[in-house]
């Protein structure tokens, strides 16, 4: 993967893993399109990228809205004339007992976490197919591979999140099979515990949800909470190696093999 002179579009790039990846790619010579709904944080990221000497475009973008992604693609091509990397990083969660979760909350999380990824691919894939090259990174989760997260309490309280992230993983694997012969690489990122502001995007539907998530996290089980800057370096290494599955915590690999044996014995 050649990063120098490439153009990367990153949704959810105003904070967390998206922000760290945008800055890491800019340091490698990539021009960046920063897409998010947080205009204030986007401005801060834009200044940092400009200070690194790279071109940058910021676009207010709600990934749940297909029109916003089409506008993002149009502005990207108008400004840079190309797109080489698409990273779908925006995400939210709903926590609580599944029987108490409203359909409005189900639609909210699926529209952002799953359809947001699909909207991004739908908008940018025709451009990549026309050029015969490109790299797509979709953000799933450790919870998109291991529904119990190593904790039955987390599994019970995060069913909508797990559902959306399993969907992202299946979509990404299917895309990988379909697109690799066409010259387009697909990776799926499945992070464990990462120190971001993700909890600001949580809807709680039960009084005890926040307490459970704060006291038990996948990072506690699979190797601690890591920094988004560390995740960005893991992503870049995976892109260089063209790895489909990007795991951030060493313990998750062993747990994934255990899950395979578990499924075969159900």
- The predicted-structure confidence for 100-142, as pLDDT tens digits, reads as follows 999 999 999 999 999 999 999 999 999 999 999 999 999 999 8
Whole-number percent of the chain with pLDDT over 70: 86
Report the pLDDT value the prediction gives residue 265, as an integer from 0 to 100: 85
Whole-model pTM: value is 0.90
* Full 3-state SS string of 37-101: CCHHHHHHHHHHHHHCCCCEEEEECCCCCHHHHHHHHHHHHHHHCCCCEEEECCCCEEECCHHHC
18-22, 82-86, 155-159: segment of lowest average pLDDT = 155-159
pLDDT at 180 over 90: yes
CA 4 to chain centre: 22
pLDDT per position as a tens digit, 41-80: 999 999 999 999 999 999 999 999 999 999 999 999 999 9
Measuring CA to CA, how many Å separate 188 from each of 49, 98, 247, 264? 25, 26, 9, 24
Domain ranges in the chain are: 7-264
CATH entry, 7-264, from 1.10.10.10, 3.30.70.260, 3.40.50.720, 3.30.230.70:
3.40.50.720
Residue 86's CB: how many other CB atoms inside 10 A? Answer: 29
* Percent of the chain residues past pLDDT 90, beyond the cut: 70
Say how far apart CA 202 and CA 14 lie, in whole Å. Answer: 17
In the prediction, which pLDDT does 169 show? 97
DSSP state of 151: -
Q: Is the pLDDT of residue 190 over 70?
A: yes
- Is 161 an active-site residue? yes
User: What span, in angstroms and rounded, lies between the C-alpha atoms of 143 and 124?
Assistant: 26
Please pick, among 161, 178, 222, 262, the residue that the annotation labels catalytic: 161
Q: Give how far the C-alpha of residue 193 lies from the chain's centroid of Cα atoms, to the nearest Å.
A: 14
Q: Mean pLDDT across the chain, nearest whole number?
A: 89
Q: Report whether pLDDT(83) > 80.
A: yes
Nearest to 254 by CA among 145, 118, 156, 121: 145
Task: State the DSSP string of 190-244.
Answer: E--SB-SSGGGGEEE-STTHHHHHHH--HHHHHT--B-HHHHHHHHHHHHHHT-S
């Amino acid at each position: 993967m050649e990063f120098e002179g490439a153009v990367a579009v990153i949704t959810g790039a105003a904070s967390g893993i998206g922000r760290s990846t945008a800055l890491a790619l800019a340091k490698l010579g990539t021009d960046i399109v920063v897409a998010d709904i947080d205009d204030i944080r986007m401005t801060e990221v834009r200044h940092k990228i400009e200070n690194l000497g790279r071109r940058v475009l910021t676009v207010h973008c709600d990934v749940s809205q297909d029109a916003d992604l089409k506008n993002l693609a149009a502005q990207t091509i108008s400004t840079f004339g190309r797109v080489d990397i698409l990273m779908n990083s925006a995400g939210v969660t709903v926590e609580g007992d599944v029987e108490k979760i409203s359909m409005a909350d189900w639609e909210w999380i699926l529209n952002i976490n799953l359809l947001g990824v699909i909207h991004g691919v739908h908008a940018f894939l025709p451009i990549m197919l026309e050029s015969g090259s490109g790299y797509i990174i979709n953000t799933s989760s450790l919870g998109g591979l291991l529904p119990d997260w190593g904790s039955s309490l987390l599994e019970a309280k995060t069913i909508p999140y797990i559902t959306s992230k399993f969907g992202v993983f299946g979509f990404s694997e299917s895309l990988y099979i379909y697109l690799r012969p066409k010259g387009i690489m697909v990776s799926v990122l499945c992070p464990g515990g990462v120190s971001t502001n993700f909890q600001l995007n949580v809807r709680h539907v039960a009084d005890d949800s926040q307490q459970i998530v704060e006291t038990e996290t996948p990072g506690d089980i699979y190797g601690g909470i890591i920094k988004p800057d560390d995740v960005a370096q893991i992503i870049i290494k995976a892109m260089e190696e063209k790895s489909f599955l990007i795991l951030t915590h060493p313990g998750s690999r062993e747990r994934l093999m255990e899950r395979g044996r578990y499924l075969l014995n159900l």
